Structure formats: C-alpha cells, structure tokens
Amino acid sequence: MEISRVEALSQRIVQSYAWGDVVWHVWGSQKVLKASAKVGGANDDGRAVLSPLVLLHGGSGSWTHWVRNVEHFAQQREVWALDIPGFGDSSLPSGVTDADGLVPYIADILKQTFHDTAVDVIGFSFGGMTAGLVAAEYPALIRQLILVGAPGLGLFGKELPMRGMIPSMDKDAQRQVHRHNLNTMMFVHPESVTEDVIDLQEVNVSRDRLRRRRIARTNVLAQVQTRWTCPVHGVWAEFDALYKDSLQEIPHVLTSMASFNVVPNAGHWVMFENPVAFHAVVDSLLKQ
C-alpha cells in the first residue's frame, strides 16, 4: 500500500483556526498556495489553471482513504486531501457531533484555503454527505461535486453486523474485529483486507472523535438536493454493502444528480478496491 511513499510525495499543510488546527495533504504542485490563488486564470506560460480537486474521506478515516488515487489525479491538477475536522490529524470543533455541525467549519476552510474560489470536490461516504450539505448551504464554494457511496438518502435497510471492541481483547482479537468490519462494510473481496489495510484501519479508527454520529441513516442529503446549484454526480460501487438492496433506487431519490454511475467489482470503499475502474469513471466526470 506504501502509505509512507505516497505521503512523502505530498506537502503537508497545517492551518490554524480559533477552534483548532486543520491538516491537508497536497499533491501536484510545489507552489500550491500560490497556484490555488490563480484558479480560473492562466499560468505564467498561458496554460489554463484547473480548479484544485478537493478530496473528503469517509467516516473513521483520513486522507489515507485516497492513498490509491491521489497520484493518479495529481497527474492533471492539484489534489488537496483534507483530514476532516474530528478525524485524522485535524482538531474537532467544540460541540460538533455529526456532519451537519461540520458544515460551517468546512465552508470556512474552503473559503480560507481557496480564496472564495469554487473548487471541484469528491466526497466519499461521510465526506460525500458532508460535502452535499455544504453545497446546499454555501453553493458558491463548490464548482462540481462527485458523491461516492454517500449516505443520508433514507435507503439503509437493516444495520450491518459490525463488531465492537471489548476492553479485555488482546491485539490479535482487536485485529480480527477490524478484519470482520472491513469485510462486512468496506469490501466485497476478502483478499482486499490485507494486514496493511488492517494497520491503516487501526490508525484511522483510533483518531475518530465523532463516534456518535447518526444522521447518515436519515434522508438529510435527499432533503437538501433542491438547493444544489453545481453539477452533482453519483459514483457508487456495484456491491456497496450499505446499498445491497437499494442501489438502483439511488437516482430515484437523488433526482438532482446530473449522472449516476456504478463501478463494477468493488465494495463500499470503491476507490481503494477497484481504483482503475473508479478512475475511468471519475476522469470522465471531471472533464465535463
């Protein structure tokens, strides 16, 4: 998986706010802050500057949810992967317990980082739901939005048989819990859950400070879609465990989407389990 190698190719940017610090990892430019200020114009050599691509990870995650994707996207533009406040290395604002509470903070981060310029956003799962709420409340901040396996549609059925940790568990038992949960929710192929993936999951889950979030099971995203003004595309995995019996209902619920795309041979963490097929779909959307 080579997380260390991919991270070494990035620039780590820490931004301080009154409520805490936010951490970005950025690929694709050695002068990222200068370049981001010129979005929509042209480089010194006359070439158009593409909008930065912002990546928002899923719940109990960090920028590492995109470890198999950032190098690909960085071939074309700057890639900014955020540790969403409350996850990874970013602070949790006081009083925030779920995606709806994060909306003004994410909006302010985007405003301050990209100087009030609209950017392209890809949001995975919890990050997609959060981005959809931001797009409704602050439409000027997002130029184009791609939702990947996003919740908040009111389509979840029975809760998945996830396992929890018990204080008496030893290290091996804890890793078996992570293996089970990854197989249950994130992947369709058992061989996708390698020891390296379990290592990544352990680190990410240990830094999740929004454990009591609940609105993913509601239809909160479907409710706000009429306020979207940017193009919104949907990308879902063929075997997304969260939508096992309702995948084809998604475009009938999110009627404001410009397109609905299904990536074959992958589970919920689609961009990790089948990155080649995921990139083929997303590249075509980003060119629109």
Q: Where are the domains of the chain?
A: 3-286
Per-residue pLDDT, averaged over 109-114, amounts to 98
pLDDT of 42 = 41
In this structure, how many other beta carbons lie within 10 angstroms of the beta carbon of residue 101? 19
pLDDT at 41 over 70: no
Q: Which long-range contacts (CB under 8 A, 24 or more apart) does 154-163 make?
A: 154/218, 154/219, 154/222, 154/253, 155/243, 155/246, 155/249, 155/250, 155/253, 156/216, 156/217, 156/242, 156/246, 157/244, 157/245, 157/246, 160/184, 160/185, 160/241, 160/242
Cα 42 to its chain centre, rounded Å, is 28
Q: Which fold has domain 3-286?
A: Rossmann fold (3.40.50)
Integer Cα distance of 217 and 47 in angstroms: 44
Name the DSSP class of 219: T
Tell me whether residue 173 is exposed, middle or buried, using C-beta atoms within 10 angstroms of its C-beta: 0 to 12, 13 to 18, 19 or more.
exposed
Specify the length of the chain in residues.
Answer: 288
Which residues touch 80 (CB under 8 Å, ≥6 apart)? 24, 25, 26, 32, 52, 53, 54, 55, 113, 119
pLDDT of 49 = 58
Strands (E), 1-133: 11-17, 20-27, 53-56, 79-82, 119-124
Distances (CA, A) of 210 to 89, 206, 215, 227, 256: 13, 11, 12, 26, 29
Mean pLDDT of the chain: 93
Cα 172 to its chain centre, rounded Å, is 29
pLDDT of 34 = 43
Instruction: Count helices and strands (H / E) in the chain.
Output: 11, 8
Q: Which long-range contacts (CB under 8 A, 24 or more apart) does 2-6 make?
A: 2/67, 3/64, 3/67, 3/200, 6/67, 6/70, 6/71
Cα 149 to its chain centre, rounded Å, is 9
Per-residue pLDDT, averaged over 82-90, amounts to 98
What stretch of H or E contains 205? Answer: helix 195-206
Integer Cα distance of 145 and 208 in angstroms: 25
| Better-scored residue on pLDDT, 158 or 18 | 18
Integer Cα distance of 189 and 187 in angstroms: 6
Residue 225 corresponds to which amino acid? Q
| Better-scored residue on pLDDT, 147 or 167 | 147
Strand pairing report for 119-124 and 20-27: unpaired
Per-residue pLDDT, averaged over 38-58, amounts to 65
Kindly indicate the confidence band of residue 50, based on its pLDDT and cuts at 50, 70 and 90. Answer: confident
pLDDT of 252 = 98
Give the predicted TM-score (pTM) of the model.
0.93
